Amino acid sequence: AQTVTQSQPEMSVQEAETVTLSCTYDTSENNYYLFWYKQPPSRQMILVIRQEAYKQQNATENRFSVNFQKAAKSFSLKISDSQLGDTAMYFCAFMKYGSGNTGKLIFGQGTTLQVKP
Amino acid sequence: KAGVTQTPRYLIKTRGQQVTLSCSPISGHRSVSWYQQTPGQGLQFLFEYFSETQRNKGNFPGRFSGRQFSNSRSEMNVSTLELGDSALYLCASSLPSGGADEQFFGPGTRLTVL
């Protein structure tokens, strides 16, 4: 079975600084996807960034980028120029590719990030 | 385009009762997944529906069931409620295209069981 581990329950960062959230996962699969979701206090879950396992190039979305190390099964999220609106809980998630695995995200326990002014 | 909507937003029930939660996906989305979020267990996958068929199921007891209608709207039902069923229930919709489509989440239904 696949598992996702986020070892940092809480983190804080000063506004405009950079922070990195860690995520490791365990799988024997080759075809899968990894995601970072953000859940602000409003509780609405929002996709931040996604990475296809077959792609070696790390995904980036504006101030958000990932460091995907497939051999190490590591998938960290870097937030540059942190903003107050980045304050939220961040979830790392895994999805196995293929029939029989549809629609199922496996989430880590989450990291609460507070951006301080 | 309107987002995923869930009704009701808040529910209070007592042990032994049953409850039905509703999820309307984004227009054009045909897959709906349901998740339970609790402080202790985190986010756990309940089931996924596509074209009125359950395609995938998590490890929850049979008290948890769902269905999907021809317009892709989905409902989940929990019978014989237990205190431990208190949670935020999230639904998410996606196209899907065969790959790992982005799931768009609704605001959730907060269920409290007394």
Write the pLDDT tens digit of every residue in A34-56.
Answer: 999 999 987 789 999 999 998 88
What is the pLDDT confidence band of residue A97, given thresholds at 50, 70 and 90?
Answer: confident
Q: How close, in Å, is residue A89 to chain B by CA atoms? A: 12
Q: Out of A45, A101, A103, whose CB is closest to B105?
A: A45
| Cβ-based neighbours of A28, under 8 Å, separated by 6 or more | none
Render pLDDT for A70-90 as a digit per residue (tens, 0 to 9): 999 999 999 999 999 999 999
Of A42, A97, A102, the CB nearest to B31: A102
Best probe of the B interface among A30, A35, A104, by most B CBs < 10 A, is A104
Shortest alpha-carbon distance between residue B37 and chain A (Å)? 10
CB contact under 8 A, B56 and A102: yes
Burial A16-37 (b: 16+ CB within 10 A, else e): eeebebbbbbebeeeebbbbbb
In degrees and rounded to multiples of 5, residue B77 shows phi and psi of: -125, 135
- Express each pLDDT in B43-100 by its tens digit: 999 999 999 999 889 999 999 999 999 999 999 999 999 999 999 999 999 986 666 6
CB contact under 8 A, B56 and A103: yes
Query: How confident is the model at residue A42, as a pLDDT?
Result: 79
Cα angle, residue A102 at apex, residues B59 and B109 outer, rounded to 5°: 60
